Amino acid sequence: MDRNELISRAKEYIQQEKHDYFRQEMENLLAAENWDELSDRFYTQLAFGTGGLRGVIGGGYNRMNPLMVRRATQGLAYYIRENSGSENPSAAIAYDSRRFSRDFAETAARTLCANGIKTYLFSSLRPTPELSFAVRKLGCTSGIVITASHNPKEYNGYKVYWDDGGQIIEPHDKGIIEEVRSVEGDVPDMELKQAEDAGLLVTIDREIDDAFVELIKSYSFRPDLVKERGRELKVVYTPLHGTGTMMVERIFSEAGIQVISVPEQREPDGNFPTVEFPNPEEASAMKMALALAKKEKADLVMGTDPDSDRLGIAVPDEQGEYVLVNGNQLGCLLEDYILLSHKEAGTMPPRPRVVKTIVTTELQRLIAESYGAGTYDVLTGFKYIADLIKKFEFTDEDYIFGGEESYGYLIETEVRDKDAISAAFLTAEMALYNRSLGRSVLDHLKDIYSRFGLFRESLISAYFKGQKGLTIMGDLMERLRKEPPERIGSRKVTMIKDYLYGTSYYMEEGDSDDNIDLPSSNVLQFFLETGAVVTARPSGTEPKIKFYASCRSAAGVPLEEAEEDVAAQLEEIRKELESWIPD
């Protein structure tokens, strides 16, 4: 793109952008003749993908800013008007603590109201799961959350939900994308006061909070235990400068559980000054909470990401040192506790179902089977779990629990996205239950391993820099399809699942079966003779590929011996995977 075109696009943006900060930022870049930066901001347009928008905050068409939010919302408004099935469609909007989140939320609200769509806007920041709940509670056609989840501070985003409270999937995702692409020129806008006076804008607050809190407490399996012994549990909690403080502190306080929030990370702050990545999956993000827990001799450490849909925990071992529990492990603990509680209370439905993603540990399937529950696999992304819950409404199957390895869990069906708030409350109850049996959370985990075998997982992410990155990544996946490995390390590959074509290929027999009933996705899974599984999954939005490895030992093998065996398997697989990745 030559300089004249850059100048033209920058001036066009300045003319259309109504927010002073972003307009001034672009004017400064033009005045400084910062051509490299201007090129990066205009060489392409921030794409509205299958879930919405996500990008670096800043002026320009390749950035997150009010103009791009207005255009995305106008496209959404077109789609809502055509597909709501109602003469009076409505939408709910929530936002997290990231920079400009409130501005983006109000921008979206003004655009929806200008299109005659009644809009419910939260009075202040709220967790993402509460937005999902609000969409269903208020009977909305759609919902929007302004968040970039656990991305670095430079980012913000825009996620879209449909009337079931789940993130958009087919056909809505593609339909909305088409409408967003059609938006050109000026976008309708309405001042907030004018929208309020017209009855198009409604501020929501405690009425949704109270209902959300009561919902979460209603999923307690042992309310009497919590009431009687909740005060015995000491929890250290960090919201990582996000939205979780109000809800977590309130629910725990009402339950009588002592919660101590990390003071330096308690207040919302989109600059995330104490962490590089506000992600409880990262050990570094939990560092301050772990230090406070050691000082307070806490029984449980918890952390949620900025929009409070992911939960990470740590628990003390026998020596009093805190051990981080990963996403697969906590998912198994919660699943086992939920199923055991239903069994003991006699409340197990006739056809209970657990839902997990294809890269989540197979241990969850074994746990489910031991209680007579079935398991469904879905593609990566909680929207697919939400879609399955919706389908269960028309069958005799009952959703019991769902989760993914990346620290996302869902207990209740009234919410249709991962919910760190309800997961935190149930985790505390599960810890109390273990305490009442005279064992720790780690003892509970060891018990699961003794029953089903030790499972361990590893993740390797490969980044491909430059414009050729996507091509290199595509070539790698194509090579794995055309020349699949017969072995990974010293272990034979017995089966390959190709989710792009919905096919399972059996190596020894040399034949295949079209038996994968999931949406097409560029994912390959290799199943080894030891029961290990290796998954290759490229990103659809950036030149990055993730390799997931899951290994297991046989049930009944002493834990120390199993640890050594599984660690050796993972190391061998890691070396093999690294040899696949081009330099």
Q: What is the mean pLDDT of residues 95-112?
A: 98
- Catalogue the active-site residues: 149
Residue 450 has pLDDT above 70, yes or no: yes
Q: What is the mean pLDDT of residues 569-577?
A: 95
Q: pLDDT confidence of 542, banded at 50, 70, 90?
A: low
Q: pLDDT confidence of 469, banded at 50, 70, 90?
A: confident
Q: What is the mean pLDDT of residues 465-475?
A: 78
Distance (Å) of CA 333 to CA 181, 337, 408, 425: 44, 6, 13, 14
Instruction: Classify residue 218 by its DSSP letter.
Output: H
Distance (Å) of CA 442 to CA 228, 316, 333: 23, 8, 10
pLDDT at 466: 60
The better pLDDT of the pair 467, 294 is held by 294
- CA–CA dist 353, 363 (Å, integer): 15
* Domains of the chain by start residue, with CATH: 3-204 (3.40.120.10), 208-450 (3.40.120.10), 455-580 (3.30.310)
pTM of the model: 0.95
Helical ranges in 275-370 per DSSP H? 287-296, 327-345, 363-370
Residue 390 has pLDDT above 90, yes or no: yes
- CA–CA dist 143, 128 (Å, integer): 10
pLDDT at 184: 84
Residue 541 has pLDDT above 80, yes or no: no
pLDDT at 540: 65
Listing DSSP states for 400-431 in one string gives EEEEETTTEEE--SS--S--HHHHHHHHHHHH
